[in-house]
A and B are shown apart, each in its own frame.
Chain A
Amino acid sequence: MKKQRCLVCGYEYDPEAGDPGNGVAPGTAWEDVPDDWCCPVCGAGKDEFEEV
Protein backbone atom coordinates (compact mmCIF):
# COMPACT_ATOMS: atom_id res chain seq x y z
CA MET A 1 0.00 0.00 0.00
CA LYS A 2 1.38 3.35 -1.03
CA LYS A 3 1.94 6.32 1.23
CA GLN A 4 0.32 9.70 0.64
CA ARG A 5 2.03 13.00 1.31
CA CYS A 6 0.33 16.20 2.46
CA LEU A 7 1.21 18.94 -0.03
CA VAL A 8 0.75 21.60 2.63
CA CYS A 9 2.91 20.46 5.54
CA GLY A 10 4.70 17.35 4.29
CA TYR A 11 3.00 14.83 6.67
CA GLU A 12 2.94 11.30 5.26
CA TYR A 13 -0.06 9.03 5.64
CA ASP A 14 1.15 5.47 5.97
CA PRO A 15 -1.72 2.98 5.47
CA GLU A 16 0.10 0.42 7.64
CA ALA A 17 0.08 2.82 10.59
CA GLY A 18 -3.25 4.54 9.81
CA ASP A 19 -4.14 7.48 12.05
CA PRO A 20 -5.62 5.87 15.16
CA GLY A 21 -5.68 9.22 17.02
CA ASN A 22 -8.30 10.35 14.53
CA GLY A 23 -10.30 7.18 14.08
CA VAL A 24 -8.41 5.60 11.17
CA ALA A 25 -7.31 2.08 12.10
CA PRO A 26 -3.89 0.69 11.12
CA GLY A 27 -4.10 -1.07 7.78
CA THR A 28 -6.64 1.37 6.27
CA ALA A 29 -5.96 1.93 2.57
CA TRP A 30 -6.01 5.56 1.38
CA GLU A 31 -9.24 4.94 -0.59
CA ASP A 32 -10.96 3.83 2.61
CA VAL A 33 -9.90 6.83 4.70
CA PRO A 34 -13.11 8.84 5.22
CA ASP A 35 -13.57 11.88 2.97
CA ASP A 36 -13.90 14.20 5.94
CA TRP A 37 -10.59 13.06 7.46
CA CYS A 38 -7.96 15.75 7.47
CA CYS A 39 -4.23 15.96 7.93
CA PRO A 40 -3.47 15.49 11.66
CA VAL A 41 -0.68 18.09 11.48
CA CYS A 42 -2.11 20.94 9.44
CA GLY A 43 -5.76 20.18 8.80
CA ALA A 44 -5.52 19.93 4.99
CA GLY A 45 -8.25 17.87 3.28
CA LYS A 46 -7.73 14.55 1.45
CA ASP A 47 -7.68 16.41 -1.88
CA GLU A 48 -4.44 18.08 -0.84
CA PHE A 49 -2.51 14.80 -0.67
CA GLU A 50 -0.53 13.12 -3.40
CA GLU A 51 0.90 9.64 -3.73
CA VAL A 52 4.53 9.32 -2.64
Chain B
Amino acid sequence: MKPVELAKNVYWVGAIDWLTRDFHGYSTKRGTTYNAYLIVDEKITLIDTVKAPYRSELMHHIRAIIDPKKIDYLVVNHVEMDHSGSLPEVVKEIEPEKVICSKMGHKALLKHFHQEDWPYHIVTPGEELSLGEKTLNFLETRMLHWPDSMFTYIKEDQIVFSSDAFGQHLGTSERFDDEVNQDVLMYESTKYYANILTLYSPIVKKLIAQIEEMQLPIKMIAPDHGVIWRKNPGKIIDAYSRWCVNEGKGNALIIYDTMWESTRKMAKAIAEGLQEKGVSYKLLDLQVNHRSDVMTDVLDASAVILGCSTLNNGLLPRMAGFLMYMRGLRPTNILGAAFGSFGWSGEAVKLMNKSMQEMKFTMIHKGLRVQYVPEDVHLRECVELGHTVAEALEDLKAGKEVVSVE
Protein backbone atom coordinates (compact mmCIF):
# COMPACT_ATOMS: atom_id res chain seq x y z
CA MET B 1 0.00 0.00 0.00
CA LYS B 2 1.37 3.37 -1.01
CA PRO B 3 0.70 6.57 0.90
CA VAL B 4 -2.42 8.32 -0.40
CA GLU B 5 -2.80 12.06 -0.85
CA LEU B 6 -5.91 13.64 0.73
CA ALA B 7 -5.04 17.19 -0.30
CA LYS B 8 -1.86 18.89 -1.45
CA ASN B 9 0.90 17.78 0.96
CA VAL B 10 -1.50 15.90 3.26
CA TYR B 11 -1.08 12.12 3.17
CA TRP B 12 -2.57 8.98 4.69
CA VAL B 13 0.38 6.97 6.05
CA GLY B 14 -1.43 4.45 8.28
CA ALA B 15 -1.76 0.68 8.21
CA ILE B 16 -4.42 -1.82 7.18
CA ASP B 17 -5.19 -4.64 9.59
CA TRP B 18 -6.65 -7.56 7.63
CA LEU B 19 -6.31 -9.93 10.58
CA THR B 20 -8.13 -8.68 13.66
CA ARG B 21 -11.51 -10.33 14.17
CA ASP B 22 -11.99 -9.52 17.85
CA PHE B 23 -11.46 -5.97 19.04
CA HIS B 24 -11.74 -6.25 22.83
CA GLY B 25 -15.00 -8.15 22.45
CA TYR B 26 -16.31 -6.37 19.33
CA SER B 27 -16.33 -8.64 16.28
CA THR B 28 -14.51 -7.00 13.39
CA LYS B 29 -15.33 -9.31 10.50
CA ARG B 30 -13.90 -6.95 7.93
CA GLY B 31 -10.71 -6.11 9.82
CA THR B 32 -9.84 -2.47 10.40
CA THR B 33 -7.30 0.25 9.70
CA TYR B 34 -5.15 2.42 11.93
CA ASN B 35 -5.00 5.75 10.16
CA ALA B 36 -2.12 8.15 10.59
CA TYR B 37 -1.63 11.31 8.54
CA LEU B 38 1.41 13.26 7.44
CA ILE B 39 1.39 16.97 6.65
CA VAL B 40 4.39 18.22 4.71
CA ASP B 41 4.95 21.91 5.40
CA GLU B 42 7.71 24.05 6.94
CA LYS B 43 6.95 22.15 10.13
CA ILE B 44 6.36 18.55 9.11
CA THR B 45 3.63 17.01 11.20
CA LEU B 46 2.52 13.45 11.86
CA ILE B 47 -1.01 13.01 13.21
CA ASP B 48 -1.32 9.85 15.30
CA THR B 49 0.58 6.59 14.94
CA VAL B 50 -0.58 2.97 14.70
CA LYS B 51 -0.93 -0.19 16.79
CA ALA B 52 2.52 -1.47 17.81
CA PRO B 53 2.81 -4.43 15.36
CA TYR B 54 2.16 -2.08 12.41
CA ARG B 55 4.95 0.41 13.14
CA SER B 56 7.11 -0.71 10.22
CA GLU B 57 4.20 -0.16 7.80
CA LEU B 58 3.75 3.36 9.14
CA MET B 59 7.45 4.13 8.81
CA HIS B 60 7.55 2.60 5.33
CA HIS B 61 4.72 4.89 4.22
CA ILE B 62 6.37 7.93 5.75
CA ARG B 63 9.73 7.07 4.13
CA ALA B 64 8.04 6.97 0.72
CA ILE B 65 7.39 10.71 1.19
CA ILE B 66 10.14 12.10 3.44
CA ASP B 67 12.88 11.05 5.81
CA PRO B 68 11.00 10.38 9.10
CA LYS B 69 13.71 12.25 11.03
CA LYS B 70 12.45 15.46 9.40
CA ILE B 71 9.15 15.25 11.27
CA ASP B 72 8.90 18.22 13.64
CA TYR B 73 5.55 17.77 15.32
CA LEU B 74 3.78 14.63 16.43
CA VAL B 75 0.09 15.11 17.24
CA VAL B 76 -1.54 12.57 19.55
CA ASN B 77 -5.31 12.87 19.08
CA HIS B 78 -5.99 9.76 21.17
CA VAL B 79 -3.84 7.74 23.56
CA GLU B 80 -5.53 4.33 23.16
CA MET B 81 -2.97 1.69 22.17
CA ASP B 82 -4.34 1.09 18.66
CA HIS B 83 -3.18 4.63 17.84
CA SER B 84 -0.32 5.09 20.26
CA GLY B 85 1.16 1.61 20.65
CA SER B 86 4.10 2.43 18.41
CA LEU B 87 4.60 5.91 19.90
CA PRO B 88 7.69 5.15 22.07
CA GLU B 89 9.58 3.71 19.10
CA VAL B 90 8.39 6.45 16.74
CA VAL B 91 9.37 9.23 19.19
CA LYS B 92 12.80 7.61 19.58
CA GLU B 93 13.26 7.42 15.83
CA ILE B 94 12.01 10.82 14.72
CA GLU B 95 12.96 12.87 17.81
CA PRO B 96 10.13 15.39 17.35
CA GLU B 97 10.38 18.99 18.48
CA LYS B 98 6.86 18.78 19.97
CA VAL B 99 4.52 15.98 21.06
CA ILE B 100 1.17 17.73 20.82
CA CYS B 101 -1.72 16.52 22.97
CA SER B 102 -4.64 17.66 25.11
CA LYS B 103 -4.36 18.22 28.87
CA MET B 104 -5.91 14.82 29.56
CA GLY B 105 -3.79 13.37 26.76
CA HIS B 106 -0.65 14.48 28.59
CA LYS B 107 -1.78 12.69 31.75
CA ALA B 108 -2.71 9.55 29.80
CA LEU B 109 0.59 9.50 27.89
CA LEU B 110 2.53 9.71 31.16
CA LYS B 111 0.50 6.82 32.60
CA HIS B 112 1.00 4.73 29.46
CA PHE B 113 4.62 5.26 28.52
CA HIS B 114 6.13 6.82 31.66
CA GLN B 115 8.24 9.32 29.72
CA GLU B 116 8.51 12.60 31.63
CA ASP B 117 11.05 14.07 29.21
CA TRP B 118 9.18 13.95 25.90
CA PRO B 119 8.73 17.50 24.52
CA TYR B 120 5.03 17.73 25.37
CA HIS B 121 3.03 20.63 24.02
CA ILE B 122 -0.37 20.75 25.70
CA VAL B 123 -2.87 22.55 23.54
CA THR B 124 -5.20 25.14 24.98
CA PRO B 125 -8.77 25.12 23.64
CA GLY B 126 -9.02 27.14 20.44
CA GLU B 127 -5.22 27.30 20.00
CA GLU B 128 -3.87 27.81 16.49
CA LEU B 129 -0.54 26.41 15.43
CA SER B 130 1.08 27.54 12.20
CA LEU B 131 3.01 24.93 10.25
CA GLY B 132 4.05 27.40 7.53
CA GLU B 133 1.47 27.40 4.79
CA LYS B 134 -1.07 25.45 6.80
CA THR B 135 -2.57 26.15 10.21
CA LEU B 136 -3.77 23.61 12.75
CA ASN B 137 -6.63 24.06 15.23
CA PHE B 138 -7.43 21.68 18.05
CA LEU B 139 -10.77 20.81 19.57
CA GLU B 140 -10.95 18.90 22.83
CA THR B 141 -13.46 16.06 22.48
CA ARG B 142 -13.33 14.38 25.87
CA MET B 143 -14.85 10.89 26.01
CA LEU B 144 -14.99 10.60 22.23
CA HIS B 145 -13.64 8.13 22.89
CA TRP B 146 -11.49 8.63 26.03
CA PRO B 147 -10.84 11.65 28.27
CA ASP B 148 -7.73 12.46 26.18
CA SER B 149 -9.46 12.54 22.78
CA MET B 150 -9.19 15.60 20.57
CA PHE B 151 -9.75 16.60 16.95
CA THR B 152 -7.15 18.35 14.80
CA TYR B 153 -8.29 20.61 11.95
CA ILE B 154 -6.37 22.04 9.00
CA LYS B 155 -7.88 25.46 8.45
CA GLU B 156 -6.71 25.91 4.84
CA ASP B 157 -7.73 22.43 3.63
CA GLN B 158 -10.82 22.20 5.87
CA ILE B 159 -9.96 18.67 6.94
CA VAL B 160 -10.97 17.37 10.37
CA PHE B 161 -8.84 14.57 11.82
CA SER B 162 -11.51 13.17 14.07
CA SER B 163 -9.68 10.36 15.86
CA ASP B 164 -12.13 7.61 16.87
CA ALA B 165 -15.28 9.59 16.02
CA PHE B 166 -16.89 8.99 12.61
CA GLY B 167 -14.77 5.86 12.07
CA GLN B 168 -15.54 2.28 11.08
CA HIS B 169 -13.75 -1.01 11.51
CA LEU B 170 -13.40 -1.62 7.80
CA GLY B 171 -10.20 -2.97 6.31
CA THR B 172 -10.11 -2.10 2.59
CA SER B 173 -7.57 -1.24 -0.07
CA GLU B 174 -9.69 1.89 -0.71
CA ARG B 175 -9.16 4.98 1.43
CA PHE B 176 -12.21 7.12 0.62
CA ASP B 177 -15.95 6.91 1.24
CA ASP B 178 -16.86 7.18 -2.44
CA GLU B 179 -14.70 4.18 -3.36
CA VAL B 180 -16.48 1.58 -1.23
CA ASN B 181 -19.89 -0.10 -1.15
CA GLN B 182 -22.21 2.39 0.59
CA ASP B 183 -24.31 -0.23 2.39
CA VAL B 184 -21.20 -1.86 3.85
CA LEU B 185 -19.83 1.55 4.83
CA MET B 186 -23.01 2.58 6.64
CA TYR B 187 -23.41 -0.83 8.28
CA GLU B 188 -19.88 -0.70 9.67
CA SER B 189 -20.33 2.94 10.75
CA THR B 190 -23.54 1.97 12.56
CA LYS B 191 -21.87 -1.00 14.21
CA TYR B 192 -18.98 1.20 15.32
CA TYR B 193 -21.27 3.82 16.86
CA ALA B 194 -23.39 1.13 18.53
CA ASN B 195 -20.44 -0.66 20.10
CA ILE B 196 -18.11 2.22 20.88
CA LEU B 197 -20.07 5.43 21.24
CA THR B 198 -23.69 4.71 22.29
CA LEU B 199 -22.95 5.57 25.93
CA TYR B 200 -21.44 8.89 24.89
CA SER B 201 -24.50 9.98 22.91
CA PRO B 202 -25.12 13.05 25.13
CA ILE B 203 -21.57 14.21 24.30
CA VAL B 204 -22.00 13.47 20.58
CA LYS B 205 -25.13 15.61 20.67
CA LYS B 206 -23.22 18.51 22.24
CA LEU B 207 -20.34 18.10 19.79
CA ILE B 208 -22.60 18.26 16.77
CA ALA B 209 -24.30 21.37 18.16
CA GLN B 210 -20.85 22.87 18.81
CA ILE B 211 -19.67 22.15 15.24
CA GLU B 212 -22.85 23.75 13.87
CA GLU B 213 -22.41 26.76 16.12
CA MET B 214 -18.76 27.20 15.10
CA GLN B 215 -19.86 27.03 11.44
CA LEU B 216 -16.69 25.13 10.78
CA PRO B 217 -16.38 24.48 7.06
CA ILE B 218 -15.71 20.76 6.64
CA LYS B 219 -14.49 19.47 3.31
CA MET B 220 -13.27 16.14 4.63
CA ILE B 221 -13.46 14.04 7.81
CA ALA B 222 -10.43 11.83 8.33
CA PRO B 223 -11.01 9.40 11.21
CA ASP B 224 -8.47 7.02 12.75
CA HIS B 225 -10.31 3.88 11.58
CA GLY B 226 -11.72 3.05 8.17
CA VAL B 227 -12.24 5.28 5.17
CA ILE B 228 -12.00 9.06 4.89
CA TRP B 229 -15.24 10.96 4.26
CA ARG B 230 -14.28 13.16 1.30
CA LYS B 231 -17.32 12.97 -0.99
CA ASN B 232 -20.01 13.19 1.62
CA PRO B 233 -18.89 14.13 5.15
CA GLY B 234 -22.44 15.37 5.80
CA LYS B 235 -23.70 11.80 5.53
CA ILE B 236 -21.89 10.62 8.65
CA ILE B 237 -22.64 13.82 10.58
CA ASP B 238 -26.35 13.36 9.79
CA ALA B 239 -26.17 9.72 10.87
CA TYR B 240 -24.52 10.71 14.18
CA SER B 241 -27.26 13.36 14.71
CA ARG B 242 -29.84 10.56 14.44
CA TRP B 243 -27.98 7.94 16.49
CA CYS B 244 -27.17 10.28 19.38
CA VAL B 245 -30.86 10.76 20.16
CA ASN B 246 -31.38 6.96 20.11
CA GLU B 247 -34.49 7.20 18.00
CA GLY B 248 -36.04 3.78 17.36
CA LYS B 249 -37.45 2.61 14.05
CA GLY B 250 -40.63 1.23 15.63
CA ASN B 251 -39.33 -2.35 15.47
CA ALA B 252 -38.74 -5.03 18.10
CA LEU B 253 -35.87 -7.41 18.87
CA ILE B 254 -36.31 -10.74 20.60
CA ILE B 255 -32.91 -11.52 22.06
CA TYR B 256 -32.70 -14.88 23.79
CA ASP B 257 -30.78 -18.00 24.74
CA THR B 258 -32.29 -21.42 25.39
CA MET B 259 -31.30 -24.73 27.02
CA TRP B 260 -33.83 -27.31 25.80
CA GLU B 261 -35.80 -25.37 23.17
CA SER B 262 -38.60 -24.19 25.50
CA THR B 263 -37.43 -20.58 25.61
CA ARG B 264 -36.96 -20.69 21.83
CA LYS B 265 -40.56 -21.88 21.42
CA MET B 266 -41.69 -18.95 23.55
CA ALA B 267 -39.57 -16.57 21.46
CA LYS B 268 -41.20 -17.78 18.26
CA ALA B 269 -44.69 -17.40 19.71
CA ILE B 270 -43.90 -13.82 20.80
CA ALA B 271 -42.66 -13.18 17.26
CA GLU B 272 -45.98 -14.49 15.96
CA GLY B 273 -47.80 -11.97 18.13
CA LEU B 274 -45.64 -9.15 16.74
CA GLN B 275 -46.15 -10.40 13.19
CA GLU B 276 -49.93 -10.46 13.62
CA LYS B 277 -49.85 -6.79 14.55
CA GLY B 278 -47.54 -5.86 11.68
CA VAL B 279 -44.45 -5.11 13.78
CA SER B 280 -41.07 -5.64 12.14
CA TYR B 281 -38.93 -7.86 14.36
CA LYS B 282 -35.77 -9.93 14.54
CA LEU B 283 -35.21 -13.17 16.45
CA LEU B 284 -31.65 -12.96 17.74
CA ASP B 285 -30.44 -16.18 19.33
CA LEU B 286 -27.30 -15.47 21.32
CA GLN B 287 -25.93 -18.90 20.39
CA VAL B 288 -25.47 -17.76 16.81
CA ASN B 289 -25.38 -13.94 16.99
CA HIS B 290 -22.34 -12.12 18.28
CA ARG B 291 -23.05 -9.58 21.03
CA SER B 292 -21.64 -6.73 18.96
CA ASP B 293 -23.92 -7.55 16.01
CA VAL B 294 -26.88 -7.65 18.38
CA MET B 295 -25.91 -4.23 19.78
CA THR B 296 -25.86 -2.87 16.23
CA ASP B 297 -29.54 -3.80 16.01
CA VAL B 298 -30.28 -2.42 19.47
CA LEU B 299 -29.01 1.03 18.39
CA ASP B 300 -32.14 1.78 16.39
CA ALA B 301 -34.62 -0.67 17.94
CA SER B 302 -37.73 0.56 19.77
CA ALA B 303 -38.41 -2.57 21.83
CA VAL B 304 -36.11 -5.23 23.30
CA ILE B 305 -37.70 -8.48 24.51
CA LEU B 306 -35.22 -10.62 26.40
CA GLY B 307 -35.61 -14.38 26.86
CA CYS B 308 -33.52 -16.78 28.92
CA SER B 309 -33.88 -20.09 30.68
CA THR B 310 -32.89 -20.31 34.34
CA LEU B 311 -29.60 -22.11 34.95
CA ASN B 312 -28.37 -22.81 38.49
CA ASN B 313 -30.67 -20.11 39.92
CA GLY B 314 -29.34 -17.54 37.50
CA LEU B 315 -28.98 -16.64 33.85
CA LEU B 316 -27.40 -18.61 31.04
CA PRO B 317 -23.86 -17.22 30.72
CA ARG B 318 -24.37 -15.84 27.21
CA MET B 319 -27.34 -13.74 28.36
CA ALA B 320 -25.46 -12.64 31.50
CA GLY B 321 -22.53 -11.53 29.32
CA PHE B 322 -24.80 -9.79 26.85
CA LEU B 323 -26.59 -7.89 29.63
CA MET B 324 -23.27 -6.72 31.08
CA TYR B 325 -22.20 -5.56 27.61
CA MET B 326 -25.48 -3.79 26.80
CA ARG B 327 -25.60 -2.17 30.22
CA GLY B 328 -22.19 -0.59 29.67
CA LEU B 329 -23.30 0.85 26.34
CA ARG B 330 -26.44 2.40 27.90
CA PRO B 331 -28.98 2.42 25.07
CA THR B 332 -31.95 4.70 25.79
CA ASN B 333 -35.56 5.13 24.62
CA ILE B 334 -36.32 1.42 24.67
CA LEU B 335 -39.40 -0.57 25.66
CA GLY B 336 -38.51 -3.78 27.51
CA ALA B 337 -40.03 -7.12 28.46
CA ALA B 338 -38.67 -10.53 29.55
CA PHE B 339 -39.64 -14.18 29.26
CA GLY B 340 -38.14 -17.61 29.84
CA SER B 341 -38.63 -21.23 30.73
CA PHE B 342 -37.45 -22.69 34.05
CA GLY B 343 -37.40 -25.94 36.02
CA TRP B 344 -37.99 -25.22 39.71
CA SER B 345 -36.80 -21.79 40.81
CA GLY B 346 -37.04 -19.51 37.72
CA GLU B 347 -34.90 -16.48 38.60
CA ALA B 348 -33.91 -15.56 35.03
CA VAL B 349 -36.94 -13.40 34.19
CA LYS B 350 -36.61 -11.44 37.42
CA LEU B 351 -32.90 -10.88 36.78
CA MET B 352 -33.51 -9.65 33.22
CA ASN B 353 -36.30 -7.37 34.43
CA LYS B 354 -34.04 -5.92 37.10
CA SER B 355 -31.25 -5.33 34.64
CA MET B 356 -33.56 -3.58 32.15
CA GLN B 357 -35.05 -1.44 34.92
CA GLU B 358 -31.54 -0.37 35.88
CA MET B 359 -30.94 0.56 32.24
CA LYS B 360 -34.11 2.70 32.51
CA PHE B 361 -36.02 0.75 29.85
CA THR B 362 -39.78 1.33 29.93
CA MET B 363 -41.04 -2.07 31.11
CA ILE B 364 -44.29 -2.94 29.41
CA HIS B 365 -44.88 -6.39 30.90
CA LYS B 366 -44.22 -7.93 34.30
CA GLY B 367 -42.47 -10.90 32.67
CA LEU B 368 -43.58 -14.30 31.42
CA ARG B 369 -42.31 -17.56 32.92
CA VAL B 370 -43.17 -21.11 31.91
CA GLN B 371 -42.21 -24.19 33.88
CA TYR B 372 -40.34 -26.79 31.80
CA VAL B 373 -42.03 -27.11 28.41
CA PRO B 374 -44.73 -24.69 27.18
CA GLU B 375 -48.07 -26.02 25.95
CA ASP B 376 -50.70 -24.25 23.87
CA VAL B 377 -52.07 -22.16 26.69
CA HIS B 378 -48.57 -20.82 27.47
CA LEU B 379 -47.76 -20.16 23.84
CA ARG B 380 -50.99 -18.15 23.56
CA GLU B 381 -49.72 -16.03 26.48
CA CYS B 382 -46.52 -15.50 24.51
CA VAL B 383 -48.51 -14.38 21.46
CA GLU B 384 -50.35 -12.01 23.82
CA LEU B 385 -47.02 -10.64 25.02
CA GLY B 386 -46.19 -9.95 21.36
CA HIS B 387 -49.50 -8.08 21.05
CA THR B 388 -48.77 -6.06 24.20
CA VAL B 389 -45.41 -4.97 22.79
CA ALA B 390 -47.05 -4.12 19.45
CA GLU B 391 -49.70 -1.99 21.17
CA ALA B 392 -47.08 -0.12 23.18
CA LEU B 393 -45.14 0.55 19.97
CA GLU B 394 -48.35 1.86 18.38
CA ASP B 395 -48.87 4.19 21.35
CA LEU B 396 -45.29 5.45 21.03
CA LYS B 397 -45.81 6.12 17.34
CA ALA B 398 -49.00 8.04 18.12
CA GLY B 399 -47.05 10.17 20.57
CA LYS B 400 -48.78 8.72 23.64
CA GLU B 401 -46.85 8.22 26.85
CA VAL B 402 -45.98 4.60 27.65
CA VAL B 403 -45.47 3.95 31.35
CA SER B 404 -43.63 1.11 33.03
CA VAL B 405 -45.66 -1.62 34.71
CA GLU B 406 -45.04 -1.99 38.45
Contacts and interface: CB of A to CB of B under 8 A. Distances in A.
A48 B202 contact: yes
Interface in A1-52: 8-9, 41-44, 48
Given A41-B104, A42-B142, A43-B142, A8 B200 contact: yes
B140 interface: yes
A42 B143 contact: yes
A8 B142 CA distance: 10
Contacts of B140: 43
A48 B142 CA distance: 14
Contacts of A9: 142-143, 147
Contacts of A8: 143, 200, 202-203
Interface of A is mostly: loop
B139 to A, nearest CB: 12
Nearest to A7: B202
Interface string B123-149: 000000000000000001011000100
Contacts of A41: 104, 142, 147
Nearest to B147: A41
Interface string B192-234: 0000000010110000000000000000000000000000000
A9 B142 CA distance: 10
Contacts of B142: 9, 41-43
A17 B203 CA distance: 26
A6 B176 CA distance: 37
A10 to B, nearest CB: 10
A8 B202 CA distance: 8
A9 B147 CA distance: 8
A9 B104 CA distance: 13
A50 B203 CA distance: 17
A43 B203 CA distance: 9
A29 B251 CA distance: 45
A24 to B, nearest CB: 17
A48 B203 CA distance: 11
B147 A42 contact: yes
Contacts of A42: 142-143, 147, 203
A43 B200 CA distance: 12
A42 B143 CA distance: 6
A48 B200 CA distance: 12
Contacts of B104: 41
Nearest to A41: B147
A41 B104 CA distance: 8
A44 B203 CA distance: 8
Contacts of A48: 202
A41 B140 CA distance: 12
Contacts of B147: 9, 41-42
Contacts of B200: 8
A3 to B, nearest CB: 19
A12 to B, nearest CB: 15
Nearest to A38: B142
B141 to A, nearest CB: 9
B80 to A, nearest CB: 15
Interface string B81-104: 000000000000000000000001
A25 B104 CA distance: 21
A9 B148 CA distance: 12
B9 to A, nearest CB: 33
A8 B200 CA distance: 7
17 contacts: A8-B143, A8-B200, A8-B202, A8-B203, A9-B142, A9-B143, A9-B147, A41-B104, A41-B142, A41-B147, A42-B142, A42-B147, A42-B203, A43-B142, A43-B143, A44-B202, A48-B202
Given A8-B143, A41-B104, A43-B140, 14 more contacts: A8-B202, A8-B203, A9-B142, A9-B143, A41-B142, A41-B147, A42-B142, A42-B143, A42-B147, A42-B203, A43-B142, A43-B143, A44-B202, A44-B203
